[in-house]
Amino acid sequence: MIKQYLLSPGPTMVPERVLLRMAHPMIHHRTPQFSAIFAETKQMLEALYQTDNDALMLASSGTGAMEAAVTNLCAPGDTLIFVNGGKFGERWGKIAARHGINAVEIKVAWGDAVAIDDVQAALNAHPDAKGVFVQASETSTTTEHPIREIAALTAKIDGCVTVVDAITALGVIDMPMDAWGLDVVISGSQKALMLPPGLATIALSEKAWELIAATKGCHGFYFDLAAERKNQRKGKDTTAWTPAAALIIGLNEVLKMIEEEGLQNLFTRHQTLAEATRAGVTALDMRLVSNAPAASTTGAFVPDGVDGAAFIKYLRDSMGVTFAGGQDHLTGKILRIAHLGYYDAFDVTIAMSAIEMALERFGYPVAMGAGVAAAQRVLVNRVPRAVL
Amino acid sequence: MIKQYLLSPGPTMVPERVLLRMAHPMIHHRTPQFSAIFAETKQMLEALYQTDNDALMLASSGTGAMEAAVTNLCAPGDTLIFVNGGKFGERWGKIAARHGINAVEIKVAWGDAVAIDDVQAALNAHPDAKGVFVQASETSTTTEHPIREIAALTAKIDGCVTVVDAITALGVIDMPMDAWGLDVVISGSQKALMLPPGLATIALSEKAWELIAATKGCHGFYFDLAAERKNQRKGKDTTAWTPAAALIIGLNEVLKMIEEEGLQNLFTRHQTLAEATRAGVTALDMRLVSNAPAASTTGAFVPDGVDGAAFIKYLRDSMGVTFAGGQDHLTGKILRIAHLGYYDAFDVTIAMSAIEMALERFGYPVAMGAGVAAAQRVLVNRVPRAVL
């Protein structure tokens, strides 16, 4: 009997009460009964977004919502600027290329946050750009980009918006959409929203809606944001196409949990878990991947001589602890330890304990308990848990 | 305490063992553990499709898969032929128009099946058409179209395929994809696949793949079928984008149930339930909507003087029995009684019983038990159930 621990940055663990809520018998999505759940869920989702705008739900993965943002805001031949500091940043460019949109790349070294001066320079060089497309948290390098500062730049430019992939940031860090002037914010169900994958969310500012209305070209059919807004608005409370109903019902339960916790507690918890994890891996002499580490996931280099891919496989198959590895040139070199969503102090303990024992098994000398101890020193006074 | 019965043509009832399987803790989709489930599910899905081709799974509703078929097979400026005999047929035209594709409509009266001569005439008039797009079962009118005969026509034409929306037909009627030469067959999770919505499936013949390869233009990014085929093929066993993992795990359980039942029993059961339901409503003097009634759902006109919308609302809110109503000019005039998926003899009994009692409450004289009795006369000798 090996218990399973899912400590990857998506999918993340789904709370028991959410799994059970979703296991209730199915209800029809074109009924007042579902619409009532939908309306309540949407309102709570908008509270999490910290926005007065509509937060829309799409039956797709986050990539679908990314494509929706690109194709609804930009017509073929238009220009957009995107920050490429990892696998997800790179995706903006691929989506734009597929649709004949001119994508201006701001290339950033993996592990670095984008320099705000580089964004300003790109905006200066491309005054016709429809927007800056960026990740709040670039999951492949566990790095946070300065989205607030970017939004302040585009706020000064007519017809230019800031589009944020917040798939591993919404519900993790305090990123008030309206207060910061973020125009488009995207998330996905299988991250801090603590659900299985298959539901994406997207909220847009009035400035973004005006840009969409003025954009000639193909908005797509399945990903037609204006059609979704028309259907999902308060009072109508439905979706243009058949919704991922079970996930929306699960999201209702998730957002009640978040309401019970309180937004500030939610952000503090994630910050604390991130600091504890960084302290833990640092104590084990594992160097951080990022110079601007995200609160969602900690990336750390495995020690020289350890095969990262084999290390992760051993942790998963022999110890029951699933982490993520690295992608592209970081393949086999890093470990990514998630701490977002349904994750608390003892999950950090498990992560550190598993890494220590696995390092020992891989012949890498480690002071048993050093990572756990360092994490605990961060956690002990800060986590509101009766047993500590 | 009012028990709830979901007798609508999607979403349909989800079997208890499927709900519970999906309530298991989440697993990571980029692991050998998930790939093993994925590969087994795909193989069983292809058995249900009765095809040696790949049956692909997409994280979207069925509409997403319909758009994928259109945009992967046709470039802007291309021509397609579509059968419009209801709300879902109409959708082919809307999708094509959105993408600048020339859509030739074969208009069919609601409730009629398309005449095969009309399809032949359209093919003669448009020798450049990339395909005929049609519903196997047009759910809005509860009508079956002659997909086998249509496929026989396009089989003779190079570069022209038959694309079938089988969203309420796959797993209901015997429609062997390869034997009938169907080129593209689409389905969705919340119908006979007995799952919550959010997963679409699509299988394509070699002829369709060749057409896709030869099609210049925008294949979309999220709905890129060639990319999905590359990832989902045997041995790779993954998806291009994050999959709707919980639904795929649920589908694994569903397909095991279908395997246990056997395909011929599955089709016979649906046929029997459909015949029983038709007999029941006919005994209540409710006229069938369709001249070629589908095995998935029975559409029947409510008696003159009964407000169909109020009737359906009463059945749902006061009796706990959810049927579907009519759309467009059939709004308020018809009742659609589903009998697909997790549905057996006593669900027909419930449907008839509820309709009879509701008719009585609406002041329409009805011989109590007449519909139930007529249905039972069909069911009694044909349903393999120990208690009968």
What is the structure's pLDDT at A1? 84
Does B263-379 match B16-259 at the fold level?
no
Q: Is the pTM of this model over 0.80?
A: yes
Nearest CA in chain B to A13: B26
Nearest CA in chain B to A246: B196
Backbone angles phi, psi at A170, to 5 degrees: -65, 125
Whether the CB-CB separation of B149 and B162 falls below 8 Å is answered with no
* Alpha carbons A198 and B29: distance in angstroms, whole number: 12
Domain extent listing, chain A? 16-259, 263-379
Q: Which runs of E-coded beta strand occur in A93-167? A: 102-107, 131-135, 137-138, 143-144, 161-165
Cβ partners under 8 Å of residue B64, min gap 6: A59, A60, A222, A241, B58, B200, B223
Asked if the C-beta of B15 comes within 8 angstroms of chain A's C-beta atoms, the answer is no
* Size of chain B, expressed as the number of residues it contains: 388
Residue A377 CB coordination number (10 Å): 13
In the numeric block, which tokens belong to residue A289? 């991947």
Asked if the C-beta of A199 comes within 8 angstroms of chain B's C-beta atoms, the answer is yes
Cis peptide before B11 (omega within 30 of 0): yes
* Alpha carbons B145 and A246: distance in angstroms, whole number: 31
* Alpha carbons B159 and A292: distance in angstroms, whole number: 53
Q: What is the mean pLDDT of residues B297-301?
A: 98
Q: How far apart are the first and last CA of chain B?
A: 28
Asked if the C-beta of A28 comes within 8 angstroms of chain B's C-beta atoms, the answer is yes
Q: Confidence class of residue B388 from pLDDT cuts 50, 70 and 90?
A: very low
Rounded to 5°, the CA angle A210-A216-A220 comes to 95
Asked if the C-beta of B272 comes within 8 angstroms of chain A's C-beta atoms, the answer is no
Cβ partners under 8 Å of residue A290, min gap 6: A111, A112, A141, A142, A143, A144, A299
Nearest CA in chain A to B64: A222
In this complex, do B11 and A24 lie within 8 Å of one another by their Cβ atoms? no
Q: What is the mean pLDDT of residues B280-305?
A: 97
What is the structure's pLDDT at B381? 76
Asked if the C-beta of A290 comes within 8 angstroms of chain B's C-beta atoms, the answer is no
Q: Confidence class of residue A217 from pLDDT cuts 50, 70 and 90?
A: confident
In this complex, do A222 and B26 lie within 8 Å of one another by their Cβ atoms? no
In this complex, do A197 and B99 lie within 8 Å of one another by their Cβ atoms? no
Cβ partners under 8 Å of residue B23, min gap 6: A19, A20, A22, A23
In this complex, do B26 and A8 lie within 8 Å of one another by their Cβ atoms? no
Identify which of A27, A64, A218 has the shortest CB distance to residue B98: A218
Cis peptide before A11 (omega within 30 of 0): yes
What's the order of all strands across the beta sheet hosting B79-84?
A: B55-58, B200-204, B184-188, B161-165, B131-135, B79-84, B102-107
Cβ partners under 8 Å of residue A352, min gap 6: A277, A280, A281, A284, A371, A372, A374, A375
In this complex, do B60 and A62 lie within 8 Å of one another by their Cβ atoms? no
Q: What is the mean pLDDT of residues A179-202?
A: 98
Rounded to 5°, the CA angle B172-B197-B345 comes to 40
Q: Which fold has domain A16-259?
A: Aspartate Aminotransferase; domain 2 (3.40.640)
In this complex, do A197 and B28 lie within 8 Å of one another by their Cβ atoms? no
Question: Which residue bears the tokens 């059970």?
Answer: A20
B263-379 falls under which CATH superfamily? Aspartate Aminotransferase, domain 1 (3.90.1150.10)
Rounded to 5°, the CA angle A341-B247-A94 comes to 70
DSSP 3-state assignment of B25?
Answer: coil
Interface of A with B in 113-142 (CB under 8 A): none
Share of chain A above pLDDT 90, in %: 95
Which among A174, A209, A172, A171 is positioned nearest to A56, based on CA atoms? A209
In the numeric block, which tokens belong to residue B37? 């489930």
* Alpha carbons A334 and A138: distance in angstroms, whole number: 15
In this complex, do A222 and B223 lie within 8 Å of one another by their Cβ atoms? yes
Asked if the C-beta of A243 comes within 8 angstroms of chain B's C-beta atoms, the answer is yes
The string of pLDDT tens digits covering residues A334-386 is 999 999 999 999 999 999 999 999 999 999 989 999 999 999 999 987 765 53
Asked if the C-beta of B188 comes within 8 angstroms of chain A's C-beta atoms, the answer is yes
In this complex, do A242 and B59 lie within 8 Å of one another by their Cβ atoms? no
* Alpha carbons A373 and A189: distance in angstroms, whole number: 33
Type of residue numbered B2: I
Whether the CB-CB separation of A56 and A225 falls below 8 Å is answered with yes
Rounded to 5°, the CA angle B233-B238-B242 comes to 140
Which among B96, B210, B220, B223 is positioned nearest to B160, based on CA atoms? B210
Asked if the C-beta of B260 comes within 8 angstroms of chain A's C-beta atoms, the answer is no
Asked if the C-beta of A189 comes within 8 angstroms of chain B's C-beta atoms, the answer is no
- Cα A387 to chain centroid distance, Å, stands at 30
Q: What is the mean pLDDT of residues B317-329?
A: 96
Identify which of B98, B198, B245 has the shortest CB distance to residue A244: B198
Closest CA of chain B from A242, distance in Å: 6
Share of chain B above pLDDT 70, in %: 98
What is the structure's pLDDT at A381? 76
Closest CA of chain B from A209, distance in Å: 19
In this complex, do A197 and B221 lie within 8 Å of one another by their Cβ atoms? no
Which among B143, B57, B133, B40 is positioned nearest to B95, based on CA atoms? B133
Interface of B with A in 96-115 (CB under 8 A): 98-100
A273-282, B50-59, B154-163, B359-368: segment of lowest average pLDDT: B359-368
The string of pLDDT tens digits covering residues B144-158 is 999 999 999 999 999
In this complex, do A244 and B218 lie within 8 Å of one another by their Cβ atoms? no
* DSSP type of residue B324: B
Please, is B326 exposed, middle or buried when counting C-beta atoms within 10 Å of its C-beta (0-12, 13-18, 19+)?
buried
Which among B143, B161, B159 is positioned nearest to B151, based on CA atoms? B161
Residues of B in contact with A220 (CB under 8 A): 67, 98, 220
Q: Confidence class of residue A387 from pLDDT cuts 50, 70 and 90?
A: very low
Identify which of A62, A99, A222 has the shortest CB distance to residue B242: A62
Kindly tell me if the per-residue pLDDT of A28 is higher than 60: yes
ipTM: 0.91
Nearest CA in chain B to A68: B222
What is the structure's pLDDT at A383? 60
Residues of B in contact with A245 (CB under 8 A): 11, 190, 196-198
Question: Which residue bears the tokens 């793949």?
Answer: B209
What is the structure's pLDDT at A385? 54
In this complex, do B242 and A199 lie within 8 Å of one another by their Cβ atoms? no
Q: Confidence class of residue B219 from pLDDT cuts 50, 70 and 90?
A: confident
Asked if the C-beta of B245 comes within 8 angstroms of chain A's C-beta atoms, the answer is yes
Average pLDDT over chain B reads: 96
Kindly tell me if the per-residue pLDDT of A317 is higher than 60: yes
Nearest CA in chain B to A21: B23
* Alpha carbons B333 and B286: distance in angstroms, whole number: 11
